[in-house]
Amino acid sequence: MEMPGTKGMGDLMERANALHQWELSMRKGILPRPDSLAWPQEPFKSNFLQALSKLEMARFCRRYPKLLESLTRQMLSLAKVVCLCDVGGGRGISE
């Protein structure tokens, strides 16, 4: 999996730790607190958490943990699109 926006080992460690936090929370059936996550950046983080909340995805992932890998891949794909939009001068998902 590619970690969007990663420029060095420090970024990679930060993002890997954040993904670990996502996974631990979702396995427990709760969403991580936005202020506890160093990555992804705003506004993507809040928008993604809001969408997951509306879909009750944390509860769903607790019940069906095999879905967590697919959800993580989807989050990384979406984060990559947002990162590319930001680099290309777009405003990403906040438009």
Query: Between 3 and 90, whose confidence is greater?
Result: 3
57 near 22, Cβ under 8 Å? no
CA atoms within 13 A on the CB side of 88: 8
Residue 41 has pLDDT above 50, yes or no: yes
Residue 15 has a CB neighbour count (10 Å cut-off) of: 19
Residue 61 has pLDDT above 70, yes or no: yes
Angstrom distance (rounded) from CA 71 to CA 31: 13
Report CA dihedral (85, 88, 94, 95) to the nearest 10 degrees: -120
